[in-house]
Amino acid sequence: MSQRIYELTAVNPDIEQLGVVRLLEEKDMHFFPYWMEAFNAAADYGKTEMFIPQDANVYHYRLSAKKLYVLEIDGSPVSMAGFTREMQTAVGVAFVYTPPYFRGNGYASSCVAQLSQIALKKGFAKCVLYTDLLNPTSNSIYQKIGYRPICDSLMLKYE
């Protein structure tokens, strides 16, 4: 996968703040595994099936890590994003997912913008993220939020 690495040091104040971003909670376990598996399936081109393990430990681990957030509109979750690795001055942003039936409303933009602002308020100097260069929507959204390209990378899969 051809990727681009972006960094953000300030959130564009013109991004519309929709709803409320909050930490993923136990009450979200009725939809979160499905969203996570849909996110993972989207990373594999052409993969449409999702695998929901009977063992929910992996999802509870993500919940307990307190790094995943959901955007709620009128009390209903509509998008998610989260933090990955934390470095001394930067934090990674990933797991950006909006179910197809909620797309096109600016929810992912608002979710990522609010999550990025949370990171900056926590004291990180910048946020970084990877994008798939074949996804013009995500590349455009992140740049509007304030992310700037740093370099390109290539993710290889060995079989």
CB-CB contact of 115 with 146 (8 Å): no
Comparison of pLDDT for 110 and 47, the residue scoring more: 110
30-41 burial, b if ≥16 CB within 10 A, otherwise e? Answer: eebbebbbebee
Q: What domains can be seen in the chain, in order of their start residue?
A: 2-22+70-154 (3.40.630.30)
pLDDT one-digit tens code per residue, 19-57: 999 999 888 877 777 877 777 766 665 555 556 666 666
CA 158/CA 143 separation, integer angstroms: 31
Q: How confident is the model at residue 158 (pLDDT cuts 50, 70, 90)?
A: confident
Provide the pLDDT for residue 110.
96
